[in-house]
Amino acid sequence: MAVGCRIRRNFERPAKELVEAFRGIPVANIDDNCGRIAAVDASIYPLNPKARLLGTAFTVNAPAGDNLLFHKALDMAQPGDVIVLANKGSMSRALCGEIMSSYAKSRGLAGIIIDGCVRDGYTLSQMDFLVYAKGVTPNGPYKNGPGKMNFPVSFAGIIINPGDIIVGKGEK
């Protein structure tokens, strides 16, 4: 692990009943009732347009184009978590693709949202697993770190805290 990585292993998660209470509520209604400050900007979209995302935020803050801590997050996140990978909005490198998404699905994670790129876009669009990103590129990531895990992140225009409830709809 690179020097400078900070990992918070534990954080407070909302009760499963509270998370489930958000199922079926339109995302726009949730944002309206949160003072119109709870939605990410329009640059983040689902790779699968049928996607409907619901889970608990597991945050990762990584340098642009780097996914070192994302690998660790895949092992530490719990079923029902949504990995929120803050990548400074970089479009230069894919931080996730078919292999990592398949692994996340096998661990019972609810989804992955990245303020950057993924690879294997067509395959991800066909998967029964929810990935949201800014774009697709074949360029692979760096694995140098440093980074932070489970601290507040600046993500696509809002602040997301570990344990926040993440709701997403399936339209671009």
Residue 6 falls inside a structural domain: no
Burial code of 75-105, b = ≥16 C-beta within 10 A, e = fewer? ebbeebbbbbbbbebbbebbbbbbebbeebb
Residue 2 falls inside a structural domain: no
Which range (28-32, 49-53, 122-126) has the least confidence? 49-53
Residue 129 falls inside a structural domain: yes
Residue 3 falls inside a structural domain: no
Q: Is the peptide bond before 63 cis (omega within 30 degrees of 0)?
A: no
Report the percentage of the chain scoring pLDDT > 70: 97
Residues comprising the binding site for Mg(2+)? 120
Residue 4 falls inside a structural domain: no
Residues comprising the binding site for substrate? 97-100, 119
Residues comprising the binding site? 97-100, 119-120
Task: List residues bridging with 136 in a β-sheet.
Answer: 118
Q: How confident is the model at residue 51 (pLDDT cuts 50, 70, 90)?
A: confident
Residue 34 falls inside a structural domain: yes
Residue range 63-69: mean pLDDT, rounded:
94
CATH for 37: 3.50.30.40
Counted domains in the chain: 1
Residue range 25-29: mean pLDDT, rounded:
91
Reading the block at residue 150, the tokens are 């489970």
pLDDT of residue 85: 98
Q: If you ran DSSP here, which 8-state letter would residue 81 be given?
A: E
- Containing domain of residue 115, as a range? 13-168
Q: Give the model confidence (pLDDT) of 102-117 as tens digits.
A: 999 999 999 999 999 9
Residue range 146-168: mean pLDDT, rounded:
96
Q: In residues, how long is the chain?
A: 172
Measured CA to CA, the distance from residue 140 to residue 134 in angstroms comes to 15
Looking at the predicted structure, is the pLDDT value of residue 49 above 60? Answer: yes
